[in-house]
């Protein structure tokens, strides 16, 4: 019935309704990349928001690197002000991965509202110093 109609999507054969294949092609080649970029953007925005939360309301403590594995993944453990233990597994930059050793104590700040969210002390101090330098007028 549709044998004379060529598919706009070279990877598909027409079924009983050509419109279904066109919608499928649109979703696969246009919709999925847009959704993927959206997910990446939301993840980035979430990380920025969490960092700002720790920057504004963070409590300093010490974490211990309990494991290094895989491709730049580390596991740290720390306790909040109530003594509750948190264990976080996450990916770090290669430079951070090589800087840490298993069993090493590392300074961190964690969020008072959500203690499972933390940032390295060095990163917080750099952010605070940068913010302070933007507030100070340049010397004459």
CATH number of the structural domain spanning residue 100: 2.40.50
- Residue with the two structure tokens 């597994």: 89
Separation between Cα atoms, residue 94 and residue 71, nearest integer Å: 9
Burial state string for 76-100 with b = 16 or more CB within 10 A and e = fewer than 16: bebebeeeeebebeeebeeeeeeee
Range of the domain at 106: 48-135
Q: Is residue 57 part of a domain?
A: yes
Please give the pLDDT value at position 26.
75
Mean pLDDT computed over 96-105: 91
As given in the structure block, the two tokens for residue 66 are 């309990």
Q: Is residue 14 part of a domain?
A: no
Report how many domains make up the chain.
1
Q: Is residue 52 part of a domain?
A: yes
Q: Is residue 105 part of a domain?
A: yes
Q: Is residue 16 part of a domain?
A: no
Q: Is residue 28 part of a domain?
A: no
Q: Is residue 27 part of a domain?
A: no
Per-residue pLDDT at 15 exceeds 60: no
Please give the pLDDT value at position 17.
47
Q: Which has more confidence, 43 or 107?
A: 107
Q: Which has more confidence, 8 or 81?
A: 81
Alpha helices, DSSP H only, in 58-120? 94-99
Q: Is residue 36 part of a domain?
A: no
């Amino acid at each position: 019935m549709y044998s004379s109609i060529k598919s706009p999507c070279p990877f598909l054969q027409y079924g009983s309704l050509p419109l279904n294949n066109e919608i499928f092609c649109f979703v696969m080649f246009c919709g999925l990349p847009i959704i993927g970029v959206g997910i990446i953007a939301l993840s980035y925005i979430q990380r920025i928001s969490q960092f700002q939360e720790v920057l504004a309301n963070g409590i300093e403590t010490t974490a211990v690197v309990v494991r290094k594995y895989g491709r730049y993944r580390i596991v740290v453990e720390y306790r909040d002000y109530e003594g509750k233990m948190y264990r976080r597994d996450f990916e770090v930059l290669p430079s951070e991965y090589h800087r840490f050793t298993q069993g090493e104590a590392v300074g961190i700040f964690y969020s008072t509202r959500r203690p499972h969210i933390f940032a390295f002390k060095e990163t917080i101090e750099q952010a605070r110093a940068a913010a302070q330098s933007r507030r100070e007028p340049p010397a004459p």
